[in-house]
Amino acid sequence: MNEDASDRVIEMRGVTTRFGSNLVHDGIDLDVGRGQILCLVGGSGSGKTTLLREIVGLLAPERGTVRLFGHPVLDPDTRVQRDVRRRFGMLFQQGALFSALNVFDNIAFPLRELRLVDENVIHDLVLIKLAMVELEPRHAPLMPAELSGGMIKRVALARALSLEPELLVLDEPTAGLDPDLADNFVQLIGALQRQLGFTVAMVTHDLDTLAGLATRVAVLAERRIIANCSPADVLDVDHPFVRSFFCSEHARAAMRATRRT
């Protein structure tokens, strides 16, 4: 790799996490370059979501550093922290929409907190984000409780995108969606990534999501990243988890398809 430091969006060095006596991560190093779509896979309980929470600074690792855009995500200077946090968007597994606010106000929330642009601009920006996630203006006054699972994900994606982030962090983006909707959502994220050019780091169980989006796959097993390579190459990794995860005929076909595109 000949990228210089400024091209790395995520830079993890020696990240060690421990919950009580349970060692979850043992010295994880991970780099994600600009424009990459990194998919983090691993067995249940291997600490994928924990790693994702450490990337966005919701959890402090016991040892090691996490840097986003070259700045420590948990910088002691709160201004640096805030600026870093404004440069990425996070899509939570359940959407985490503010249930007291309607769709419009949910998407407008980060924009209003920025205190930079007036309501007229915010209105147009929110409707652009709604259109980006293929929702219509008539959905704007709905409350989160009135939305279907697929719509919640879309609104949450629109909210994550509202500050035009350079990095999008996705936690199980297609969990809880039926295959058809999941497929749509994956295509939507892919299309938006091509249009807006952000970097993506995600955790998923779903092979179709992985095959449809990822440009890199990082495999988390035995408390370490045992592989960080292209989706096509991951099939050649000789490890029990990789074999069982990618073993089915369907999985192999899906993964091989990525080699062609």
CA distances from 19 to 57, 186, 224, 260 (A): 17, 33, 16, 42
Q: What is the closest distance, in whole angstroms, from the C-beta atom of residue 100 to other proteins in the complex?
A: 4
Q: If DSSP codes are grouped into helix, strand and coil, which group holds residue 124?
A: helix
Question: Is the CB of 58 or the CB of 131 nearer to other proteins?
Answer: 131
Which residues between 25 and 54 bind other proteins (CB under 8 A)? 34-35
Q: What is the closest distance, in whole angstroms, from the C-beta atom of residue 147 to other proteins in the complex?
A: 11
Q: What is the closest distance, in whole angstroms, from the C-beta atom of residue 146 to other proteins in the complex?
A: 10
CA–CA separation, 54 and 126 (whole Å): 29
Question: Considering only residues 58, 60, 128, 247, which one is a binding residue for other proteins as defined by CB under 8 A?
Answer: 128
118 binds other proteins per the rule CB under 8 A: yes
> What six digits make up the tokens of 241?
């988890």
Question: Is the CB of 1 or the CB of 100 nearer to other proteins?
Answer: 100
Binding pattern for the stretch 148-187 against other proteins, x by CB under 8 A and - elsewhere: ---------------xx-x---------------------
Residue matched to tokens 């979501």: 49
Closest CA to 245 of 202, 184, 204: 204
Q: What is the DSSP letter of 177?
A: S
CA–CA separation, 39 and 237 (whole Å): 16
Residue-level length of the chain: 261
Question: Is the CB of 75 or the CB of 105 nearer to other proteins?
Answer: 105
Question: Is the CB of 123 or the CB of 223 nearer to other proteins?
Answer: 123
Q: If DSSP codes are grouped into helix, strand and coil, which group holds residue 152?
A: helix
| Cβ atoms 150, 142 nearer than 8 A | no
Closest CA to 87 of 103, 73, 106, 107: 73
Distance of CA 60 to the CA centre of its chain: 18
Question: Considering only residues 7, 105, 208, 233, which one is a binding residue for other proteins as defined by CB under 8 A?
Answer: 7
Question: Is the CB of 132 or the CB of 226 nearer to other proteins?
Answer: 132
137 binds other proteins per the rule CB under 8 A: yes
Question: Is the CB of 177 or the CB of 225 nearer to other proteins?
Answer: 177
Q: What is the closest distance, in whole angstroms, from the C-beta atom of residue 222 to other proteins in the complex?
A: 33
Give me the phi and psi of 126, to 5 degrees please: -65, -40
124 binds other proteins per the rule CB under 8 A: yes
> What six digits make up the tokens of 53?
């929470």
232 binds other proteins per the rule CB under 8 A: no
| Cβ atoms 23, 46 nearer than 8 A | no
Applying CB under 8 A, which part among 19-27, 173-181, 192-200, 232-240 lies near other proteins? 192-200
Interacting residues with other proteins (CB under 8 A): 6-7, 34-35, 86-87, 98-100, 111, 114, 116-121, 123-125, 127-129, 131-132, 137, 143-145, 163-164, 166, 194-197
